[in-house]
Amino acid sequence: MTDKDPAALLAAVERLREAAGGVDLPLELEGTEQARASRKELVQQLDDYVLPRLRSLDAPLLAVVGGSTGAGKSTLVNSVVGEEVSRTGVIRPTTRASVLVHHEQDTRWFTGKRVLPELARVAGEGAADDPGSVRLVTSDALPAGLALLDAPDIDSVVRANRSLSRQLLAAADLWLFVTTAARYADAVPWDLLRAAAERGTSVAIVLNRVPPEALQQVRIHLASLLRDQGLGQSPIFTVLEVDLVDGRIPPVHVERLTGWLDSLASDARARSVVIRRTLAGTLGSLEERATGVADAGAAQVAAREVLEQAPRTAYQDALKAVAESMRDGTLLRGEVLARWQELVGTGEFLRSVEAGVGRVRDRIGAWFSGKQITSEPLGEALQTGAAALITSHGQVAASTAARAWKHEPGGADIVREQPGLAKASPDLPERVERLMRDWQGEVLELVREEAGSRRATARYLAFGVNGLGVLLMIVAFSMTGGLLGTEIAIAGGSAVLAQRLLEAIFGDQAVRTMATKAREALLGHVERLYDDERARFDRALEEVPVREQSVTALREAAAQVEAAR
């Protein structure tokens, strides 16, 4: 670690901590579980170790005693201190909570939230089974300037213990790795030792319970393994397999380790070397680790954008389908045709279409006699058909969007948690009916506005506002592109006849303008309706807090730390 500008470095790390905490990884993507663990480890180490140490370089050296189940960590701590400060036993797991032993002069460094702020501070035996606590123990046997923290087993059968152990090791200035002649080559501790070497953590090895006859062979092999992992400079302390006295290792067998710890505590320069080596190594690892989290966050952003687009595409396609059905004559089939034929007379209507629109007015001259023509059944059929069409495409859009989510990374879990997304809103049919009624009112208003002085004419009176509104709806719903055979003649003729009748009253330009307005008004209503339906997917994504700004902020903060260290 360099001393470019300690204040600037601290500020940069503080920004990194804030940025790392702001990156969310809620979507279940490939590699997300590991990324979450990496982010948690990064944030915890910043809180537990990096920031506290940057703010207090002169604080006591914290040595965390860690190792595998049954390695004798607690017995070793008790033996170094000279009294029972950490519970031992043959039933595993023994150490369920961390035990921090320190000199009374150093109490102020550990009673507050300076280090390990998430863990509660307790005293006495009652909290020994709580993995969310640190049990503080003072001892005059430890010199001021040094604290020992007895961590749970790194391979504990209890997940919370394993998690706590790794958290505490990441908060250490020095890791005292305790192993035995039988277990020093186990895979789990070497994974952690390898990570410690990569991050520059200061490590010392305690080879415990070594049979005298195997001492040289085991020590040579262990030293070889340490060199292979980049830890060749780590000191090795051996403790022979001996009978315990009052549950502790006789002092003569731990005096070399005790003397080394005392020298660290009493020599400010030596202590500073260990502290700065570990801090520098950890600072050097931050950019790569933060970049990994940022990459995972970027993948979340990309996945969320894909999820955002799927419902938009589904409902845009639904709107396009409705618009096409309004142009191609689809709505002039079936019930609508039947009602139209009732209104104009099937045979008469067909012959009129065949003979030309010019003769239609003569053949159905009764329409212009002033006698009111009943168009209500036709209007209802048009509304019902249009409502069914709009509802159907809305339902298809919901199903399509949900199906797309099921096949996109991160989307399947959302649909599983909110199965209602796969169907249209229960009240969609009712809302569509209201939409059609509202639109019909707008169509009638168009007729009234355009009628002006024509309201008293026989033709106007023959149809009335409602009848002319129905004719305008027919014109708005037609272009006959999707009809075949007889349907073209019937539905196409329906539209042509309706248009000519309207033109006879309003003129051709006025009819085209009214039909365009009517069509656009309905499509506008449908678009807003589908937007409301799509909003259900938007709300589901609002519960997935993924922000590109957070990813960018994390990358920038990591680069600032690298530049400042």
Q: What is the 3-state secondary structure (H, E, C) of 9-22?
A: HHHHHHHHHHHHHC
Is 90 exceeded by the pLDDT of residue 349? no
Return d(Cα 561, Cα 542) in angstroms, integer.
Answer: 32
Which pLDDT score, from 0 to 100, does residue 503 have?
82
Q: Nearest 5°: phi and psi at 551?
A: -65, -45
Which pLDDT score, from 0 to 100, does residue 353 have?
37
Among candidates 161, 162, 111, which has minimal Cα distance to 138? 111
Return d(Cα 194, Cα 228) in angstroms, integer.
Answer: 10
- Start-end of H helices in 51-186: 51-55, 73-81, 107-111, 159-170
Is 50 exceeded by the pLDDT of residue 90? no
Which tens digit of pLDDT belongs to each residue from 540-552? 999 888 999 999 9
Is 70 exceeded by the pLDDT of residue 458? no
Which tens digit of pLDDT belongs to each residue from 476-503? 877 543 343 444 444 445 666 777 778 8
N- to C-terminal Cα separation, the chain? 6
Specify the CATH number for the domain of residue 145. 3.40.50.300
Which tens digit of pLDDT belongs to each residue from 511-532? 889 988 999 999 999 999 999 9
Residues 111, 28 share a domain? no
Total domains in the fold of the chain: 3
Residue 315 lies in a domain: no
**β 98-102/146-150 pair status:** antiparallel
Hey, what are 443's tokens? Answer: 């169509």
Hey, what are 168's tokens? Answer: 């505490």
Q: Nearest 5°: phi and psi at 211?
A: -60, 135
For residue 7, what are the domain limits? 1-58+276-307+558-565
Which pLDDT score, from 0 to 100, does residue 81 have?
92
* DSSP state letters, 191-228: HHHHHHHHHT-EEEEEEEEE-GGGHHHHHHHHHHHHHH
Residues 151, 136 share a domain? yes
Q: Identify residue 8 by its one-letter amino acid code.
A: A
Residues 44, 3 share a domain? yes
Which tens digit of pLDDT belongs to each residue from 158-174? 888 888 888 999 999 99
Three-class DSSP category at 352? helix
Residues 518, 424 share a domain? yes
Q: Nearest 5°: phi and psi at 132?
A: -95, 20
Sign of torsion, CA 57 269 178 253? negative
Q: Would you place residue 455 in the very low, low, confident or very high pLDDT band (cuts 50, 70, 90)?
A: low
- Average pLDDT of the chain, as a whole number: 84
Residue 466 lies in a domain: yes
Three-class DSSP category at 245? strand
Q: Would you place residue 196 in the very low, low, confident or very high pLDDT band (cuts 50, 70, 90)?
A: confident
For residue 207, what are the β-bridge partners?
A: 179, 238
Residue 314 lies in a domain: no
